[in-house]
């Protein structure tokens, strides 16, 4: 039997991310001994993931993919937890005897209240880069050509086309650029109607300064 719960606390940072054209969430919450990394990817291109809440349980290294129902911009992130989801979360908490009786509903309510109301892009970048080595096999659909991780240049796009979020998102994951630098680069790419070129070959990566020079050439 499933357990229904609405992670309504996601509303503020979800809408904040939409306003800033950053259709990605990544943040960590600690509850007791449990460590929970929440991730969402909700560009219009994210057909496979836009209504999914991904949760990395850091102690047990279990990865949960949870379908979120409802109108997200209105604060509905309704999850139907299966028994195996509940069991995995309880294992993550590493509960010991002697305290008050554990309530899964109370735990979810407390976790929901811990969700931040603001989430700077730099915080998202730091967290997603930190956990990517562990979660990448489960998230191959949130970036284009997931096997290509070395940035080598730019490509001109056909008239009327713009760079895809699933390509630009790789800047979050596979570079060390700051939030400000990446935001400026993405704005420049969109204005110039060019996108990024990546390879899976072992080559020297291009610098952000060189990228900007090529965009503005």
- pLDDT tens digits for range 166-199: 999 999 999 999 999 999 999 999 999 999 999 9
Let me know whether 68 and 82 are in one domain: yes
The number of domains in the chain is: 2
Q: What phi and psi values does residue 169 have, to the nearest 5 degrees?
A: -60, -25
> How confident is the model at residue 99, as a pLDDT?
62
Let me know whether 29 and 100 are in one domain: yes
> How confident is the model at residue 48, as a pLDDT?
86
Residue 8 tokens read as 């309504």
| CA distances for 66 relative to 50, 122, 197, angstroms | 11, 25, 32
Task: Give the whole-angstrom CA distance, residue 104 versus residue 110.
Answer: 10
Q: In the structure, what pLDDT confidence band is assigned to residue 97 with cuts at 50, 70 and 90?
A: low
| Separation of CA 106 from chain center | 26
Let me know whether 93 and 74 are in one domain: yes
Task: Give the whole-angstrom CA distance, residue 119 versus residue 165.
Answer: 19
Range of the domain at 78: 3-120+129-141
Q: In the structure, what pLDDT confidence band is assigned to residue 160 with cuts at 50, 70 and 90?
A: confident
Let me know whether 80 and 35 are in one domain: yes
Let me know whether 113 and 152 are in one domain: no
> How confident is the model at residue 95, as a pLDDT?
85
DSSP 136: G
Determine what percent of the chain is predicted with pLDDT higher than 90. 83
Let me know whether 36 and 112 are in one domain: yes
User: Is the separation of the CB atoms in 40 and 53 below 8 Å?
Assistant: yes
């Amino acid at each position: 039997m499933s357990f229904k719960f609405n992670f309504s606390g996601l509303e503020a940072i979800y809408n904040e991310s939409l306003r800033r054209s950053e259709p990605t969430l990544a943040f960590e919450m600690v509850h007791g001994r449990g460590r929970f990394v929440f991730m969402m990817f909700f560009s219009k291109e994210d057909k496979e993931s836009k209504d999914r809440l991904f949760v990395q349980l850091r102690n047990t290294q279990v990865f949960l993919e949870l379908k979120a129902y409802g109108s997200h911009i209105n604060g509905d992130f309704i999850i139907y937890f299966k028994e195996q989801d509940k069991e995995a979360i309880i294992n993550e908490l590493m509960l010991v005897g002697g305290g008050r009786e554990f309530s899964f509903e109370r735990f979810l309510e407390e976790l929901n209240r811990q969700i931040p109301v603001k989430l700077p892009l730099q915080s998202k970048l730091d967290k997603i880069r930190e956990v990517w080595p562990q979660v990448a096999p489960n998230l191959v659909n949130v970036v284009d050509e997931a096997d290509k991780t070395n940035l080598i240049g730019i490509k001109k796009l056909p008239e009327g086309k713009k760079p895809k979020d699933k390509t630009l998102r790789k800047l979050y994951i596979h570079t060390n650029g700051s939030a400000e630098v990446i935001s400026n680069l993405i704005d420049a790419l969109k204005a110039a109607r060019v996108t990024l070129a990546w390879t899976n070959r072992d080559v020297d990566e291009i610098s952000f300064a060189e990228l900007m020079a090529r965009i503005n050439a």
